[in-house]
Structure 1
Amino acid sequence: MSLLQVVVSVACLVAVARAGVIAPAALAAAPVAYTGLPAAPLVRAAPLAVAAAPVYADSYPQYQFAYTVQDALTGDSKAQEETRDGGIVKGSYSLIEPDGVRRTVNYYADPINGFNAVVQRDLPVVAAAAPLVKAAAVVA
Structure 2
Amino acid sequence: MNAKFFLLLVVVASAAAQRPRYAYRAPGSSEESYESTEAKYSFNWAVSDDSSSNEFGHQEARDGDDTQGSYYVQLPDGRLQTVKYFVDGDSGYVAQVSYEGEARYPDSSESFESREYRPARPVYG
**TM-score for both structures, normalised by structure 2:** 0.52
Provide the rounded CA distance (Å) in 2 between the counterparts of 1:124 and 1:117. 22
Report whether the alignment pairs 1:88 with 2:66.
yes
Provide the rounded CA distance (Å) in 2 between the counterparts of 1:125 and 1:119. 16
Question: Shift in Å at residue 125 of structure 1?
Answer: 8.5
Gaps of 5+ in 2: 1-20, 105-125
**TM-score for both structures, normalised by structure 1:** 0.47
Aligned length: 78
Corresponding letter in the other structure for 2:67: V
Provide the rounded CA distance (Å) in 2 between the counterparts of 1:94 and 1:50. 50
Question: Shift in Å at residue 50 of structure 1?
Answer: 7.7
Question: Shift in Å at residue 73 of structure 1?
Answer: 1.5
**Aligned residues: percent identity?**
29
Corresponding letter in the other structure for 1:112: D
Provide the rounded CA distance (Å) in 1 between the counterparts of 2:22 and 2:73. 46
Change (3 A) 1:100 1:60: same
Aligned pairs for 1:56-75 within 5 A = 57=34, 59-75=37-53
Corresponding letter in the other structure for 1:76: N
Counterpart residue number, 2:97: 119
**SS at the partner of 1:92?**
strand
Provide the rounded CA distance (Å) in 1 between the counterparts of 2:23 and 2:42. 34
Question: Shift in Å at residue 87 of structure 1?
Answer: 1.0
Gaps of 5+ in 1: 1-48, 127-140
Higher helix fraction (1 or 2) = 2
Provide the rounded CA distance (Å) in 1 between the counterparts of 2:22 and 2:103. 56
Corresponding letter in the other structure for 1:71: D
Counterpart residue number, 1:131: none
RMSD, aligned CA: 3.0
Question: Shift in Å at residue 51 of structure 1?
Answer: 9.3
**Residue deviations 1:71-105, cap 9 Å, x none?**
11122211110000101110000011010000000
Change (3 A) 1:60 1:101: same
Change (3 A) 1:93 1:123: same
- Among 46, 60, 82, which residue is 1:104 paired with? 82
